[in-house]
Amino acid sequence: MSTPSSDLNLLLRTLDPLLHEGVYAFACLPPGTGLAGLAPLATFQEDEGLTVVLKEETALAQPVPVLFRAAWITLRVHSDLQAVGLTAAVSQALAAAGISCNMFAGVHHDHLFVPVDEAARALAVLRELQRRGALA
The reply to whether 36 falls in a domain is yes
Q: What's the whole-model pTM score? A: 0.92
Contacts of 96 (CB under 8 A, 6+ apart): none
Residues 101, 122 contacting (CB under 8 angstroms) = yes
pLDDT (0 to 100) of residue 32: 80
**In-domain check, residue 3:** no
**Domain CATH for 54:** 3.30.2130.10
pLDDT per residue, tens digit, the chain (136 aa), is 678 888 889 899 999 999 999 999 999 998 888 888 899 999 999 989 999 999 999 999 988 999 999 999 999 999 989 989 999 999 999 999 999 999 999 999 999 999 999 999 999 999 999 999 855 4
User: Where do the DSSP E strands lie in the chain?
Assistant: 17-19, 24-29, 42-46, 49-55, 68-75, 102-105, 110-115
pLDDT value at position 63? Answer: 85
Range of the domain at 102: 8-132
Count of structural domains, the chain: 1
Domain assignment of residue 1, yes or no: no
